[in-house]
């Protein structure tokens, strides 16, 4: 999937397709995590769908919950979900920025003379 060291960088159109596919994977990760957070808040805290969505979205966005958990299960879920959301932020940043960083580093290391046959 990724070009080897010393090879010519892929064309810009192929890079855009690669970036779009990584962005789609990151979007799927967010949607899955948001769904899990909504389900957890509905189950453990008996919150309505809009309130569960708000709490899950705020935790995924790094802002913290709006409604403080009242039950033991809700508190444990909110704590675990907050830790998960922090790690997810780093994972999504890596997935989205991976193609960009790779292209930049690849351009620094590519030498036109190495690509020509001798």
Identify the residue whose tokens are 């922090």: 86
pLDDT in tens, the chain (118 residues): 676 666 677 788 988 999 999 999 999 999 999 999 999 999 999 999 999 999 999 999 988 889 899 999 999 999 999 999 999 999 999 999 999 988 888 777 755 555 555 4
Token pair in block for residue 61: 């966005």
What's the confidence (pLDDT) of residue 91? 96
Give me the count of residues in the chain. 118
Domain boundaries, the chain: 34-110
State the pTM of this model.
0.81
Class of domain 34-110: mainly alpha
Ramachandran area for residue 47 (φ above 0: left; ψ -120 to 50: alpha; else beta): beta
* CA-to-CA dists, residue 54 to 49, 63, 87, angstroms: 9, 11, 20
Question: How many of the other CB atoms lie within 10 Å of CB of 83?
Answer: 11
pLDDT in the model for residue 90: 95
91 CB contacts (<8 Å, ≥6 apart)? Answer: 29
Judge residue 23's burial from the number of C-beta atoms within 10 Å of its C-beta, 0-12 exposed, 13-18 middle, 19 or more buried: middle
Residue 9 has a pLDDT of 73
In this prediction, residue 70 carries a pLDDT of 93
The per-residue pLDDT for 113 is 55
């Amino acid at each position: 999937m990724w070009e080897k060291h010393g090879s010519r960088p892929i064309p810009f159109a192929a890079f855009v397709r690669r970036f779009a596919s990584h962005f789609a994977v990151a979007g799927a990760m967010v949607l899955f995590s948001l769904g899990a957070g909504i389900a957890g808040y509905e189950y453990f805290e008996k919150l309505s769908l809009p309130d569960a969505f708000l709490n899950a979205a705020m935790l995924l966005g790094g802002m913290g919950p709006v409604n403080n958990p009242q039950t033991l299960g809700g508190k444990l879920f909110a704590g675990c979900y907050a830790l998960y959301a922090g790690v997810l932020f780093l994972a999504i940043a890596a997935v989205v920025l991976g193609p960009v960083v790779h292209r930049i580093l690849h351009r620094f290391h590519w030498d036109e003379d190495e690509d020509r046959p001798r």
